[in-house]
Amino acid sequence: MEIRTSVPLAPYTTLGLGGPARFFAECRSPEEVRETLRHASSRRLRVFVLAGGSNVLFPDRGFDGLVLHLAGDDLSFDDAGSHVLAHAWAGTDWDTLVQAAARRRLGGVECLSGIPGSAGATPVQNVGAYGQEVADTITSVRAIERGGFGNVEFSGDECRFGYRRSRFKGEDAGRYVITGVTFRLEKNARPAVRYPELMRALERTAGAGGVRGGEPTPEDVREAVLALRRGKSMVLDPSDPDTRSAGSFFTNPVLSPGAFADLERRWKKAGGAEAVPSFLESDGIKVPAAWLVERSGFPKGYRKGNAAVSTKHALALVNRGCTAAELLALADEIRAGVRTTFGVQLEPEPVIVPSS
């Protein structure tokens, strides 16, 4: 294991922003993770764990500590009777796993196609899209405790998943380094398509003869999801400047009935004629953050200097030659606008790393 110094962090992130790491170590096994943690502890260095870099914003000054980069792929599938267990090293590219599962006609993660990042990052915020979440399939998460360097393992229930959250993002944030995840995937599964947008896309594909027998397979769903995400610049593409983002910059707020009623009153008072879109959740009413952003005066393509709202998706903030500080200034402006218009506080989805 080699520890390097003054390594630029921007190339390791989808936003392409951030100054250098004081120290940088690539780890390809749990043993290397443990060795790196011991090294940092003996020198009292702060540690930031980085994998795919799709959900992180480093400051322009960089990181005055050690960045532990989970690198490399290690993915295997074990037959377990009615289902298959997919075992992934934390650094494994997430979409590589999804593609491999779809080709095997294994159901459970096909709606999560095209999401950048690593398999080990998915449990942290319970990655989800188009009605699926990794909480639906995760059976275990393996990790190393930063304090004692011991191995730990959590069942899916012990991860305490919620909407875009888990124990690793909540009460245990920063306590563990996830090293591996196991997913339970269904054989010959009939995809559960819940979102109207995805249903319409599959219907169009079926009408063009792309879905054989009228029954979509996980591969069919994957291709439809990828097409939808490409249309929103949510699939990494070096030729598309709108993909220089961290994906959705804000989570969809989940409101209490009272807060949602207040939002509706504010919208009607402002002259809004259309109904506020909403989805019932177990812990409240979810409102699309993109809808709130656009109706607070920040349409697709809105620009502040070289930081911009994507021309295709109002939740993606795009680097068009800006600094990290400029992107955060745009995010703050949007949050203030939504708070003034609707009384709703948007929460950022990416990890915003302090410099020290």
Q: Residue 163's Cα: distance from chain center in Å?
A: 12
- Give φ, ψ of 251 to 5 degrees: -85, 155
**CA–CA gap between residue 178 and residue 321 (Å, rounded):** 33
- 164 carries an active-site annotation: yes
- Annotated catalytic residue 113: no
| H/E stretch holding 228 | helix 218-231
Q: How many other C-beta atoms lie within 10 A of the C-beta of residue 76?
A: 11
User: What's the burial of 205, exposed, middle or buried (CB within 10 Å: 0-12/13-18/19+)?
Assistant: middle
* CA–CA dist 107, 260 (Å, integer): 34
Rg of the Cα atoms in the chain: 21
Instruction: Give the alpha-carbon dihedral of 295, 296, 298, 304, to 10 degrees.
Output: 180
Q: Establish whether 200 is a catalytic residue.
A: no
The residue from 34, 164, 229, 295 that is catalytic is: 164
Give the Cα-Cα-Cα angle 348, 174, 88 (nearest 5 degrees). 90
Q: 10 Å Cβ neighbour count for 248?
A: 22
Q: What separation in angstroms does the CA of 63 have from each of 10, 69, 274, 298, 356?
A: 11, 13, 45, 31, 7
Interatomic CA distance for residues 148 and 2, integer angstroms = 22
Catalytic pick from 54, 233, 248, 296? 248
φ, ψ of residue 4 in degrees (nearest 5): -100, 165
Active site amino acids: 164, 248, 349
